[in-house]
A and B are shown apart, each in its own frame.
Chain A
């Protein structure tokens, strides 16, 4: 953090300057006011309220009553959803985020090497990222439908195995990973831009030293883009923690329990394998009337996300730096 505070004591400041300063403080306040309000009402207040509710029994009807740590104990010890959601998140961070970063980097590298039709390829690779998540997920559940989906039809024609994809607890997360890899556009562009920023001279120097392609990548490219890799990993982790729409819609559509006859869909189909923390919050808070337990899970999610954000802010001072 750069020191911005003035060291001059107010007494030493001539009145003119003080007035000017007050004016400038007011001006700053004016410019910042939308955010100051937004931050207090839509960030600080609900966070404090979440902490408050986590110690309360509140079903939305009767007034909240204090229950101490009961909700915390329930979530960590007794809830059938919390730990599966956490382990799923860990799996997705390990596999999905890693693969996404590797694949994004690979596609970014590929794009920088393409000589003919780079624009067309770039557009094609980028487009899936824009597909609305609900639409993309429904499309993938259809594509990967075990019985009649095109993927299994083609796999069967090629004489390959045909998994049950979104309908099999062992394959549901790999299926979600496939969906996430399809929408690689954001990472591709970020990596592409950072790859183009690597100074040419470093490559030339390496080539003179007789470095082969792998060595050039390992000793020139990677060190140059490592901050971007870190950025991609951390933001990917945070995005995974709040992963909601894709697993929920995939579970609903694949299970066949959707809308209709008043059947209630409990997220995580099949066998809680697609359960994530936000879905647990929704299930507890908006399906089971258990506001308190929902807030406990929310606070766990908050803590984990803020730890990641903290790492990001420490490691990438560029995030914070300002001109002075």
Chain B
């Protein structure tokens, strides 16, 4: 008697568990469709023929892999790649290098006005870039003659980037004081402490902030539109992609093929650096 009762209770919880499992996973599959289908349709259109791309067909009749080659060989496409890499690469190196000492000082030094300073960093981080664009454009274009290049976008990163400072500081706060103090007692100067002790410990945060910055630059459309639009030799992928549809007189298949080629590297990098990413996002919102 007692045995059977026990058994039925287990099977009851078991079936409740199974039901729960099914419900959760059915929901997850449904959600996946919402996230994956757009990618799928973009890809399927990218390999359609010119004639088919303007029809209501969902599945390609012939697989035109050559569309990717056509896009790749579009005059300018390689230049856009090079410019984007320059903007994102150099911008990221500069931003991380210049932000790290600032973040360290804000996290570990005691000085008057530190909180005010932190508030200013957060305010700058939240400042929409469009607010100051008019004087900034006049400054770079009229005074420094750098319109038509990406330098107005890259150079400011040599002077600290608010978001990078914020992110690094949030992480540096979590490093126990004992480590830095031990280094100091050993006679290390602050700069050496930062480079020898803090940087190795902060590697994940540095990687995360570098990735964020890299993608920010990679995705940026507003900046290149303002500063580089007048010189096709300085266009980036994001800006060039938009002009692709008009200037190169194409239809949806080639436009979608170009879209795939712009999305692909981001996704590849993500697969290699997934962990750093997720940690980074968490750091912006949760810790602190």
Contact = CB atoms under 8 A, between A and B. Distances in A.
Query: Is chain B in direct contact with chain A in the complex (CB below 8 A)?
Result: yes
A9 B101 CA distance: 29
Contact of A285 (B133, B139, B245): B133
A115 B24 contact: yes
Interface stretch (B1-9, B52-60, B67-75, B199-207): B52-60
Interface string B254-270: 01100100110011001
Contacts of B281: 185-186, 189-190, 193
A259 B246 contact: yes
A291 interface: yes
Contacts, number: 299
Contact of A238 (B128, B130, B134): B128
B284 A182 contact: no
A138 interface: yes
B285 A46 contact: no
B interface majority secondary structure: helix
B154 interface: no
Interface string A224-258: 00001001100100100110110001001100001
A182 B35 contact: yes
B19 interface: no
Given A4-B112, A28-B111, A43-B132, A305 B127 contact: yes
Contacts of B21: 115-116
B219 A124 contact: no
Nearest to B249: A260
Interface residues of A, number: 108
B86 interface: no
B111 A25 contact: yes
The secondary-structure label for the interface of chain A is: helix
Contact of A35 (B114, B159, B255, B270): B159
Contacts of B177: 323
A1, A41, A130, A301, most chain B CB atoms within 10 A: A130
20 contacts: A35-B99, A41-B159, A42-B136, A49-B132, A114-B25, A125-B35, A139-B38, A142-B42, A142-B256, A148-B56, A228-B286, A242-B128, A245-B238, A259-B243, A278-B130, A301-B128, A313-B122, A320-B118, A320-B122, A323-B107
| In the complex, the 3 A-B pairs of residues with the closest C-beta atoms, listed nearest first | A259-B246, A38-B159, A242-B128
Interface of A: 1-2, 4-6, 24-25, 27-28, 30-32, 34-35, 37-39, 41-43, 45-47, 49-50, 53, 60, 107, 110, 113-117, 121, 123-128, 130-136, 138-140, 142-143, 145, 148, 150, 153-154, 182, 185-186, 189-190, 193-194, 197, 228, 231-232, 235, 238, 241-242, 244-245, 249, 252-253, 258-260, 277-278, 281-282, 285-286, 291, 294-295, 298-299, 301-302, 305-306, 308-309, 312-313, 316, 318-324
